[in-house]
Amino acid sequence: MFACNWCSYAGADLAGVSRLQMPANCRVIRVMCSARVRPEFVITALSKGLDGVVVLGCHPGDCHYSEGNYFTRRRGLFLKKLLEYVGIEPERFQVRWVSASEGAKFADTVAEVTRQVKALGPNRPRRNAQ
């Protein structure tokens, strides 16, 4: 899970400080902006068998860098189509918005995404026949 430094990562911190329960199988990677998550990060993670990837950013209109979350939204739509094309369920990748003051929403989002990815079963990416 990639989290924007300015909003979502602070939301994760608030969830932790508030001692909210979250699945233990998720890892948070802090990025300066959700727009800094390059498509190859997502493709590589899922093609190596990671069960799901989530990009968490600021709510639209609240981006520290003005338009990063709008870029992330467009890139997310592109990535879902690309994942489907390469044979990976697009539901394994999600973009969500969580602000710094939404620790409970962060915990709920992590739990919800974990349930959704678990319902898909293990990720078994296709291997290129070479």
What pLDDT shows up at residue 125?
78
**pTM, full prediction:** 0.92
d(CA 8, CA 26): 14
Instruction: Give whole-number Cα distances, 126 to 38, 86, 106, 122, in Å.
Output: 21, 8, 32, 13
What pLDDT shows up at residue 130?
35
Instruction: Give whole-number Cα distances, 76 to 14, 18, 60, in Å.
Output: 26, 30, 14
Give the residues of the chain that fall short of pLDDT 70: 127-130
What pLDDT shows up at residue 127?
65
d(CA 63, CA 54): 18
Residues 39/75, Cβ–Cβ less than 8 Å: yes
Find where tokens 């190596």 sit.
48
